[in-house]
Amino acid sequence: MTTPVIGVCAAFEPARWGFWDQQAAILPATYLEKVRTAGGLPIGLVPDPRATARPELVLDRVDGLLLIGGVDLEPDTYGAARTERTEATAPERDAFELSLARAALARDLPVLGICRGMQILNVAAGGTLHQHLTDAGFAEHRRSPGRLDSATFHEVDVVPCSLAESLSGSGVQVVNSHHHQGVDALGEGAVVTAWSIPDRLPEAIEFPSCQYALGVQWHPEVDHLQHALTAFVAVAARPAREDQPA
């Protein structure tokens, strides 16, 4: 098996290191280590208007796309008006990641979305989001802000023989949560393959027409879940498909 290059979309946030305090592209080490452990070579993808306009500039150079967690999506990306419940957003990052996600789905490039990344996949396919889950009648899914430890654990029901099963196992599984928004209307071609217990919030979506296109609302990159990204990386390592655009 070749070593697949996995493009990891970076957050773009204020950061401090050494003497510096400025905007920076941020790639949490937990995501990078999970990709490496699965056999992939992670490289950072930084928002750039040229790649937003022409996503092939990025996607022609990677074998898989990983969309990581982060801030809220701008509501106008899914046709909604902003309410007071919308928190921090990153419009440039939204545009970049939505463009890459749409193009990845169209060319059947393996793509995995985590937390915000699952929401990006759904919106890229024309779906919508709840701007605040408790207002929509769902449970609190951010019980411990800034942490992903045992206080954030909850159960999900995972569909057998799904991509979500290859990540977590099927049936009732324990995952973690750190989000206050979630999937409302499903994007075109998406199906739900895991739901939160007991509130039935979609916790995993995938696109059966694609070889690997999965979004999960939880955080499999943290060590204590023991959720490996091997299935995602293995698909990305397959030889180029004849039907993939040049």
Per-residue confidence (pLDDT) for residue 240, from 0 to 100: 53
Which strands sit side by side in the sheet containing 171-176, from one edge to the other? 41-45, 5-9, 64-67, 111-114, 213-216, 202-206, 191-196, 153-158, 171-176
Per-residue confidence (pLDDT) for residue 1, from 0 to 100: 60
Task: Give the list of residues 6+ apart from residue 54 with CB closer than 8 angstroms, or none.
Answer: none
Residues of the chain with pLDDT under 50: 241-243, 245-246
d(CA 238, CA 44): 21
d(CA 242, CA 246): 9
Q: pTM score, two decimals?
A: 0.94
Per-residue confidence (pLDDT) for residue 93, from 0 to 100: 97
Q: Are 45 and 58 in contact (CB under 8 A)?
A: yes
3-state secondary structure at position 187: coil
Specify whether domain 5-11+23-127+184-194+202-236 bears CATH 3.40.50.880. Answer: yes
The CA distances from residue 38 to 62, 75, 233, 237, in Å, are 16, 34, 6, 11
Catalytic residues: 115, 219, 221
pLDDT in tens, 50-99: 999 999 999 999 999 999 999 999 999 999 999 999 999 999 999 999 99
d(CA 77, CA 229): 28
Question: Which letter does DSSP use for residue 224 in this model?
Answer: G
- For the record, the structure tokens of 221 come out as 């990159």
Which among 106, 23, 101 has a CA at the least distance from the CA of 68? 101
Q: Which residue has the tokens 């979630």?
A: 182
Per-residue confidence (pLDDT) for residue 233, from 0 to 100: 98
d(CA 128, CA 80): 8
DSSP 61-82: T-SEEEE---SBPPGGGGT---
d(CA 143, CA 145): 6
Per-residue confidence (pLDDT) for residue 150, from 0 to 100: 81
3-state secondary structure at position 40: coil
Q: Which residue has the tokens 């921090």?
A: 88
Per-residue confidence (pLDDT) for residue 146, from 0 to 100: 81
Per-residue confidence (pLDDT) for residue 37, from 0 to 100: 96
